[in-house]
Amino acid sequence: MFLLKLLLLNAFRHRLRTALTIVGLVVAVCAFGLLRTLVDAWYAGVAASSSTRLVTRSAVSLTFPLPLHYAQRLKGVDGVTTISWANWFGGVYQTERNFFPQFAVEPASYLALYPEYVLPEDQKQAFLRDRRGAIVGRKLARTYGWQVGDQIPLRGTIYSGTWTFTLRGIWDGAEERTDENQMLFHWQYINETMRRKYGPRADFVGVYVLGIDQPANAALVSERVDALFRNSAAETLTETEAAFQLGFVSMSQAILVAIEAVSLILIVIIMVVMANTMTMTARERMAEYATLKALGFPPSFIVRLLFGESLLIALIGAAIGVALTFPAVRAIAQALGSFLPAFQVQPATVAMQLGAAVGVGTVAAAWPAWRMGRIDIVQGLRHVA
């Protein structure tokens, strides 16, 4: 208790300098947390992927569809237990700014493959019965104020015309990272309309989603699927859901690397500022440390004083910075809408913020502590701050 009181008195002896140092720490720690949260949000889809799901798409490009009749052949692949499919819809709700993922899916099998979408049974059955029904995630419904029974018009970009869906259910994510910003509706409804209007454009799907029995067999099952359609008019590429998601993340890999670099640079900058503060503090108190040594205090006591003061200032700044990170993330998440569906502070980010603060406090005090621990008593007593 005595040592803590002494550290507090020493830390705030020069209040303005300490306050400015803490402000710098708060800004750096908070900015570091925001940047790390942004990186985590970018990889949220990968983290939420299931090891029991594979995605089969065109080997040429994701923009090339696959024939519907592939579904029957996929059912015979050894290791595949469930088959579903989905098409990206790409509609616009009211204005171009209202972007959110919309998928036309085979509803019964798709929901069976995604148990993390927790939907009340009555709403699920209502959705399955209504060909023009739709379900959305809780966060998306909250964003636009939708309630079950609402009519949701979407202006098609890939599928021309205005499509109106009846909201039959709102799902909650089973986990924190589960995407609650999607809209799902019946692929059959879209396909029947396309068959009636455009004939040849019907009976195609964007991707097949495959459920497998053993995650360890993912590579083997993928090879079997792709071998089945090799040298056909529409060859396939099958990969795990995580690899499929990473394909999208890799498109912005350079941006993510830059963000991670900036977050580290922030810590280095505040480390330099903190080191300067502790060096000035040690220089001003040189005579005091020499007096302590003359009174019989060992060099280790002086080292503990400097390290303790530095760590105390760093942890105060880190605590305030971490506390401010949460409201800042909530405000940014609200502004981003559905662009990054899992923009949330993770426990690992908080641990990294605190760890960075401890590292800054330790490194900043290293040189002054080493120097003051070796100070000559006579020379120290002659020093005038």
Per residue in 232-260, pLDDT (tens digit) is 888 999 998 888 887 766 666 677 778 88
Write the pLDDT tens digit of every residue in 190-199.
Answer: 999 888 877 7
HEC assignment per residue over 55-73: EEEECCCCCCCEECCHHHH
Average pLDDT over residues 261-286: 82
Q: What is the pLDDT of residues 71-116, one digit of tens each?
A: 999 998 999 999 999 999 988 888 767 778 899 999 999 999 999 8
Q: For 26-74, how does the pLDDT look when each residue is reduced to its tens digit (9 = 90+)?
A: 998 999 888 888 887 777 666 667 788 999 999 998 889 999 999 999 9
DSSP of 305-352:
HHHHHHHHHHHHHHHHHHHHHHHHHHHHHHHHTTSSTT----HHHHHH
CA dist 107 and 362 (Å) reads 56
**Number of CB atoms found within 10 A of residue 153's CB:** 12
Q: Give the integer Cα–Cα distance in Å for 37 and 371.
A: 39
| H-run or E-run covering 81 | strand 80-88
Q: Which residue has the tokens 């089973």?
A: 174
To the nearest whole number, what is the mean pLDDT of the chain?
Answer: 84
Higher per-residue confidence, 195 vs 210: 210
The pTM score is: 0.73
pLDDT attached to residue 251? 62
Share of the chain above pLDDT 90, in %: 33
> Which is more confidently placed, 80 or 177?
80
